[in-house]
Amino acid sequence: MVSDIVSRLRLFSNSLLTSSAPGQIAAGFTLGMLIGVMPKSNLIALSLCVVLFSLRCNKGLGLAVAVMFSLVSPLTDPIAHKLGAALLQTESMQGAYAAAFNMPLGPWVGFNNTVVTGSFLLGLYLAYPVYFALRMLLSVVQSTLQPETREEIVADVDLQTRAAA
Question: Half-sphere exposure (CA, 13 Å, Cβ side) for 19?
Answer: 17
> 75 near 108, Cβ under 8 Å?
no
pLDDT given for residue 141 in this prediction: 80
pLDDT given for residue 91 in this prediction: 93
pLDDT given for residue 7 in this prediction: 76
Q: Indicate the domain borders of the chain.
A: 8-111+118-164
User: 34 in helix, strand or coil?
Assistant: helix
Cα(115)–Cα(121) distance, rounded to whole angstroms? Answer: 10
Q: Given CA atoms 55, 57, 62, 64 in this order, what sign does their dihedral have?
A: positive
Q: Letter for the amino acid at 24? A: Q
Cα(48)–Cα(109) distance, rounded to whole angstroms? Answer: 12
pTM of the model: 0.79
- State how far the alpha carbon of 35 is from the alpha carbons of 75, 115, 125, 127, 143, in Å: 15, 14, 14, 11, 29
> 34 near 42, Cβ under 8 Å?
no
Q: Given CA atoms 80, 82, 86, 89 in this order, what sign does their dihedral have?
A: positive
In a structure prediction context, what are the per-residue pLDDT tens digits for the chain, which is 165 residues long? 677 887 777 766 666 666 678 899 999 999 999 999 999 989 999 999 999 999 999 888 899 999 999 999 999 999 999 999 999 999 999 999 889 889 888 888 888 899 999 999 999 999 999 999 999 998 888 777 655 555 666 666 666 666 665
Cα(34)–Cα(24) distance, rounded to whole angstroms? Answer: 15
Q: Which residues contact 62 (CB under 8 A, 6 or more apart)?
A: 28, 29, 31, 32, 35, 52
> 113 near 8, Cβ under 8 Å?
no
> 24 near 57, Cβ under 8 Å?
yes
